[in-house]
Amino acid sequence: MFCKQCGKPIDDGQELCEDCKANLNQGANNAQPNNNFQNNTQGNVNYNNQNFNNQNFNNQNYNNQNYNQNFNGGAQQKSKLAAGLLGIFLGSFGVHNFYLGYIGKAVAQLLITLLTCGFGAMISSIWGLIEGILILTGSINVDGKGVPLKD
């Protein structure tokens, strides 16, 4: 059997919960309140002798750059210019996609170039040139993790 007030296991026939002192024979409405929770007027909450200050939780600065950096495990923003130029000049090898974290596309471009002994390099280089221009114009504006590219 479990206490209706705090949920702790109790023995059958026991009248008071040892933890919250709730009267088990009467409903939870008549139980004594749990004194482990206190709230004062300064925004501090004391729960089981641990002090939590609401101001510390509510006054944190979440601007977009810090949020993106912290949300993505501290990932640094990649350069839009570097990615675009890599796409234009080395796009047939997928270097720009490796740089941005699009590993699947990068491996596909590299394999097209290498497995066709260079004959397929024209396809990969056109693909890379188009992606490089799209990166520089802002049509592709995030890396593989979703972090925005910096100018």
Q: What is the pLDDT of residues 34-59, one digit of tens each?
A: 555 455 445 555 555 455 554 444 44
Query: Which DSSP string do the residues of 34-52 spell out, in sequence order?
Result: PTTEEE-TTSEEEETTEEE
Q: How confident is the model at residue 16 (pLDDT cuts 50, 70, 90)?
A: confident
Q: Does a structural domain hold residue 33?
A: yes
Q: Does position 109 have pLDDT exceeding 70, yes or no?
A: yes
| CA-based radius of gyration for the chain | 30
Of 60, 94, 109, the residue that ends a domain is 60
Q: Does a structural domain hold residue 148?
A: no
Q: What are phi and psi of 55, to 5 degrees?
A: -65, -35
Which are the contacts of 48, defined by CB distance < 8 A and separation ≥ 6?
36, 37
Q: Does a structural domain hold residue 133?
A: yes
Q: Does position 19 have pLDDT exceeding 60, yes or no?
A: yes
DSSP designation for 15: -
Q: What is the pLDDT of residue 72?
A: 55
Two tokens at 82? 């570097």
pTM for the predicted model, two decimal places: 0.53
Q: What is the pLDDT of residue 139?
A: 96
Tell me the three state secondary structure of residue 60.
coil
Q: Which domain holds residue 98?
A: 76-137
Q: Does a structural domain hold residue 143?
A: no
Q: Are residues 90 and 50 in the same domain?
A: no
Q: Are residues 87 and 56 in the same domain?
A: no
Q: What is the pLDDT of residues 70-80, one digit of tens each?
A: 555 667 999 99
- Whole-angstrom Cα distance, residue 37 to residue 48? 6
- Whole-angstrom Cα distance, residue 71 to residue 9? 40
Q: Are residues 114 and 84 in the same domain?
A: yes
